[in-house]
A and B are shown apart, each in its own frame.
Chain A
Amino acid sequence: MSRTRFRLAGATIALMLAAVAGCSGGEGVDVDGNDAAGAGGVLNAAIGGEPDQLDPHKTSAYYSFQVLENVFDTLVEPDANLEMKPALATGWTTSDDQLTWTFTLREGVKFSDGSPLTAEDVVYSYNRIIDEKLNNAYKFGTVKSIEASDPKTVVVTLNAPTPNLLANLGGFKGVAIVQKANVESGEITTKPVGSGPFAVENYSSGDSIRLVRNDNYWGEKPKLDGVRFTFVSDPTVALQNLRGGEVHWTDNLPPQQVPALLDGDDPTVRSVPSTDYWYLALNQARKPYDDVNVRRAIAFALDREAITKAAKFGLATVNQAAIPQNSAFYYEYAPYTHDVNQARQLLDQAGVSGLSMDLMVTSEYPETVTAAQVIASQLEAVGITVKIRTLDFAQWLDEQGAGKFDAFMLGWLGNIDPDEFYYAQHHSDGTFNFHEYANPNVDRLLDQARTETDQAARKQQYDQVAKQIVDDASYIYLYNPDVAQGWSKQVSGYEVRTDRAIRFRDVALAR
């Protein structure tokens, strides 16, 4: 009895404390927002969800990277055209055998806490990813060793030539340079220390993440005093907040309203083609999907235009291959015209009739649920009954890993190098080849292209890979979506990037 009362009392105190903390937190924000000393102001950005953690090497959530893009640096980083440009490294040289890369670090780079960033930090960061087998360890697959020959020089030694090493080392902030002390104290998950334009000031779970300008930043000083990220899961609400002025920037716009928003000028909404692709995969370990004719029949039965229109309201480009048009590795190949008769003929050839197909989609990505309904109605026209199975994402991943599906639909986000588009998905040893595709010819080409240093030859090899994968209908590619973001008229200097990186370093806020 007394214990219960004690606990109740404890709960009351906790509630009161929370209320007080909430009040003071609110005041703090107001003070920041009206801070007359900083002319830059604080930009309020609404993102669709909360990061799971802020350790760039351990998180795989896009919400985390939206924040971390502004906090961390990599040796090199993609520019607007996704070409790798100097960042922490000012230059690099490659040995004649392509097996030794020597990076020269920028002078005078400091972490936001004022401590210097040296070659040792680069070595520590990369070895952490490799030794602890973190998410991005595969990007270091060909790396034999990483050494700091002096505080300004990093030498990367490889087992095999790796033409896409720069993309691996700088494609996104998942391979950022972190501080050893910050990792070892465990603070990196909530208060990471980086060398980027902003530093994390405060992370209050369930509410917001506040960044302040990093005065030790090596590049041009950001104009903003800071950025405040809030988590708004409902796109309609995010748009309302943007219109009402509580939010200056959001990427969580209701897709059905984006076409109309693009025409207006307040708020400013821009969209660019992304490097993402969405696809349908058929389980080739199961009959009859092991038969290429059945897979091709399904590819012919789909009307990609209709699927894209329903799933993305036109904010996407139909594509029958993976790599989007804006990439140097784009290969124009579209053999599958929407043709019901052709599909029926192929099914007849395969001796398949009255097929019932299980299609696994996830509520985490509502566009898969929408697209699946269109796919179901299109396949019905060729005599295939589709049973749509909507799962939550964790369960979906379990089923995918266990191979318990006839078909699934999903997307790959933010890939840059063609190796990222194909190897893990279509090599017979690929870590994401859950649909059990195996073609020795494709395996050979993928292994070869991985280490091909002649760009023209490499492009040609990937063209062959693309053609073979499309012909075999390993994945049935559907579309490359656009990335749409909106900001208020007060915001200037912001550009939407095709790799979805959110960079506020050059942004200014009019007041």
Chain B
Amino acid sequence: MSEQQISREGQVRRALSALRRDPLALTGTLVLAVLVVVGVGGSWLAPSGINEVDVDVMLQPPSWAHPFGTDELGRDVLSRVMVAARVSLQVGLVSVGIALVVGVTLGLFAGYYRGWLDNVLMRCMDVLFAFPVLLLAVAIVAVLGPGLTTAMVAIGVVYTPIFARVTRAGVLSVREQVFVRAAVSVGASDLRIMRRHVLPNIAAPLIVQTSLSLAFAILSEAALSFLGLGVQPPDPAWGRMLFDGRGFVTEAWWLGFFPGAAIFVTVLAFNLVGDALRDVLDPRQLTVSEARRSTA
């Protein structure tokens, strides 16, 4: 028990120090920090309102007054990109949260109890897995109607199977470990064993999966709103802004460029952090990365 806790603290310490040492991961972390600040305080930090329509200043190129230019309705693109950060983060966090909670729960039960429950749950997951991610998300939104909430639910559903699989795979090996059998033999309940003994030991791959899924969820949200199935106008979303800017590529490149750049930077940041975390936490990658570090 105590040994495990020490090892977990060790993991966290190793993760943090790895993030500090790896310049790419550090950059990613800093970008994410800025993103969170903008996402939380976007509407206060933004230089102007997101729906201040003024057609007299439509389609103005970037300037000091409007660093990212103005759009086809004369709205400040910088402000809209900033406020849209909240949407992207919100959708990312909530949908991955849904996928994490549902997927991990299903994976835990399937892997721990095995038998028919495992079969039923995992075959359901296989069915979901069989659909291309975006197609399934579009289908779900088509049924529930477009909007922010349905986008979050849809993306959450499509990323659930991957969490269920990762969890189940971990549980399958951990449940055979001696400390689990010991817990069973002293009469611990199933729920307690799953919570106290199994879950902590499969946390590492889940953390990695979460950080990578965040990137994909944000991309999916952008794709959905590009297709007009996410946040509805006039509320800003990066994907939607990209779509609206598409018709203006030759006259007003800034309409598409800045939201596109925002998506790019955000997804890259999540990926960099996710990669770094995997280097530290994934036991198979660990040896490689440590070997690399020791030779360096």
Contacts and interface: CB of A to CB of B under 8 A. Distances in A.
A: contact size bracket: 20 to 34
Interface string B28-67: 0000000000000000000000011101001100000000
B247 A377 contact: no
B234 A388 contact: yes
Contact of A370 (B59, B72, B228): B72
Given A235-B247, A254-B247, A310-B58, A377 B52 contact: yes
A310 B55 contact: yes
A257 B233 contact: no
A235 B51 CA distance: 27
A388 B233 contact: yes
A389 B234 CA distance: 10
A382 to B, nearest CB: 14
List 7 tightest A-B contacts by C-beta distance, closest first: A377-B53, A373-B234, A309-B55, A306-B55, A310-B55, A374-B53, A377-B51
Interface residues of B, number: 18
A380 interface: yes
A377 B232 CA distance: 15
Given A373-B234, A390-B146, A256 B248 contact: yes
B73 interface: yes
A310 B247 contact: no
Interface of B: 51-53, 55, 58-59, 72-73, 146, 228, 232-234, 247-251
Contacts of B249: 236
Tell me what chain A mostly uses at the interface: helix, strand, loop, or mixed: helix
Contacts of B248: 256
Given A256-B248, A257-B251, A373 B73 contact: yes
A369 interface: yes
A109 interface: no
21 contacts: A236-B247, A256-B72, A256-B247, A256-B251, A257-B251, A306-B55, A309-B55, A309-B58, A310-B73, A369-B233, A372-B234, A373-B53, A374-B53, A374-B55, A377-B51, A377-B53, A378-B53, A380-B51, A388-B232, A388-B234, A390-B228
A235 B146 CA distance: 26
Interface string A31-46: 0000000000000000
A389 B248 CA distance: 24
B99 to A, nearest CB: 27
Given A236-B250, A256-B72, A370-B72, 20 more contacts: A235-B247, A236-B249, A256-B59, A257-B251, A309-B58, A310-B72, A372-B233, A373-B73, A373-B233, A373-B234, A374-B53, A374-B73, A376-B234, A377-B51, A377-B53, A380-B51, A388-B232, A388-B234, A390-B228, A390-B232
